[in-house]
Amino acid sequence: MKVLLIGSGGREHALAWKLAQSPLVSDLTCAPGNAGIATVAACVAVAADDILSLLGLIDRDGYDFVIVGPEQPLALGLVDALEARGVKVFGPTEAAAQLESSKSFTKDFCKRYNIPTADYGVFTDAAEAKAFLKTMNAPYVLKADGLAAGKGVVIPETLSDAEAELDEFFSGKFGEASTKVVIEEYMTGQEVSFFAISDGKTAIPLIGAQDHKRAFDGDKGPNTGGMGAYSPAPVFTQDAMAEVMGTIIHPTVAGMAKDGNPFKGVLFAGLMMTPEGPKLIEYNVRFGDPECQVIMRRLQSDLMEIFIAAEAGTLDTLTAPAWLNDPVVNVVLAAKGYPGSYEKGTTIKGLDAAQDIDGVVVFHAGTKLSDTGDVLANGGRVLNITSQASSLERAVQNAYKAIDECVDWPDGFCRRDIAHHALKTGR
Ligand code: AMP
Ligand code: GLY
C-alpha cells in the first residue's frame, strides 16, 4: 500500500518507524516529516494544518491510505474531505473530532451518556461564571472550550485568583477558544493516558502510559506538550483498564454512533484515577505525544493492520494486538527556553552512538537536516530518547546514559526524573 502519514512530531516518527516495519506498507510518505522521519519515509514539505495543499498532494500523488497524526487537520475536516473523495483514511471526522476540539461538547456528551467525569458548568458570561465559581471548592479548574495547544487549562488556588483568571479568559487570553469557558470540580489521583481504537462501532483497547506535563523536575514549572512518558503505568492495572473500557470507552463509541457522529480513530482518554474509580479528564482524538512513542515500542502487532481494520469497520474480527512486557521510557530533550522562546538551528550530534546503547531508539520531533547533513534543532520539543529494558530502572538508566554520554547538544535540556513516581512507589 502507498501510505501518507501527516505530521512532524515525535509521535509521527514513532508511527512512521512502526509503519515502515509493516509488510502491508510498500511506500511511505510523510507530510511534512522531520530529519528522523526522513530515514524511514519520503518527506514532502506540506504543513499538517494546510488542508488545501494536503488535498492537492493527495489528489496529485494518489495514496491508498492516509493516517492523520495531529489534531488540527482533524478539527479542520481533513477526514471529511478525504472520505468525500473516496480516499481511505484513519482518523475521526470534524464532527467526531469535537471530542477534543470542544470541551463543552465532551462534557455535555458525558453527562448524557453517564460517563464518569468531573462535575462542571459551561459559561459565555462572566457574571454567571463567577456566581457558579462561588458554589465550587478550591482549587478551581478553568478551561478554554476550544483548542489551545494544551495550554487552555488553569487551576487557581483562590477564589479571587479564579475570578481574575476568568476575566482574562473572557477578554481573549486564548482568543476564540476562551469565549466559552468550562468550570470543573477538582479531581485528585494519578493521571493515566489510555488509548483505544474505534471503527465507529467497536472499540479495542491498546495500553496505558503516563506523561509528565510540567517542564521541570518534581512536576514544577509551566505546562508543556509533555516532557516524558513511560508504559506500562503500574497504577493502570488490567482491572482498571477493563473498568475504563466498560464505563468510558464503550459508552462513548456507542453514544457517538447513536448521535450520528460515529468515531473512527484513536480515542485518547486522559484519566484521573480517583478514589471513586477512574474518571475522564478529557478526550483527545489522536495519539498522545510523548505517549505514542512508548506505545509503539511495546506494540508487537502490525500497526497498519489495525488502521486498516478501523477504517474498514472490521475491528470486531481483528486479533487483539500483542504487546511486549518490557517497560519503555521516553525522555524528551527540548530546546533551552521551551515552552517559552527558544533558539532554532543549533546542531545536534551523537544520535547514532545513543542508539548503540542496548534498547535505545531515538525518535525525532522538531529537527531538520542542514545542507551538509547535520541534524539541527527546529522546534521546542526536539528529540525523544526511548529505552526498553527488562525493568523500568534499567530502561530509565539507559535513557539517561544515552543523553549524558552520547547526545551532544549543549542547547537542549530534559527532565531528570521521568518515571520517578513509579520507580519510587512501584505504582
Ligand atoms: P486537560 O487539558 O483537560 O487534560 O487538562 C490539563 C491538565 O489539567 C490535566 O492533565 C490535569 O493535570 C489538570 N486537570 C484538568 N482537569 C482537572 C480536574 N477536573 N481536576 C484536577 N485536575 C485537572
Ligand atoms: N501528551 C499529551 C498530549 O499529547 O496531548
Would you say 226 and 211 are in contact if contact means Cβ atoms under 8 Å apart?
A: yes
**Residue 117 pLDDT more than 90?**
yes
CA pair distance 187, 178, nearest whole angstrom: 22
* Banded pLDDT at 424 (limits 50, 70, 90): confident
Four-point Cα dihedral 169, 170, 172, 177, nearest 10:
70
The hierarchical CATH code for the domain 119-184 is 3.30.1490.20
Q: For the residues 125-142, what does the mean pLDDT come to?
A: 94
What is the reported pLDDT for 108?
94
Specify the CATH number for 2-91; select among 1.10.10.10, 1.10.150.20, 3.40.50.720, 3.40.50.20.
Answer: 3.40.50.20
Low-confidence winner among 168-172, 344-348, 372-376 (lowest mean pLDDT): 168-172
Strands in 141-144's sheet, in edge-to-edge order, are 120-123, 181-184, 141-144, 153-154
Q: Cell triple for residue 84?
A: 468525500
**Ranges of each domain in the chain:** 2-91, 119-184, 190-317, 328-425
**Residue 421 pLDDT more than 90?**
no
Residue 98, phi then psi, degrees to nearest 5 = -60, -20
What is the reported pLDDT for 58?
98
Residue 150 beta carbon below 6 angstroms from any ligand 2 atom: yes
**What percentage of the chain exceeds 90 in pLDDT?**
92
Residues 6 or more apart whose CB falls under 8 angstroms from that of 171 comprise none
Give the residue carrying C-alpha cell 502491508: 24
Instruction: Give 262-285 pLDDT, tens digit per residue.
Output: 999 999 999 999 999 999 999 999
CA pair distance 306, 117, nearest whole angstrom: 29
Would you say 236 and 322 are in contact if contact means Cβ atoms under 8 Å apart?
A: no
| Position in ligand 2 atom list of the atom nearest CA 211 | 1
Residue 35 beta carbon below 6 angstroms from any ligand 1 atom: no
CA pair distance 177, 172, nearest whole angstrom: 8
Residue 311 beta carbon below 6 angstroms from any ligand 1 atom: no
CATH architecture classification, 328-425: Alpha-Beta Complex (3.90)
| Position in ligand 1 atom list of the atom nearest CA 281 | 16
Residue 153 beta carbon below 6 angstroms from any ligand 1 atom: yes
Q: Cell triple for residue 168?
A: 482574562
As assigned by CATH, the class of the 190-317 domain is: alpha beta
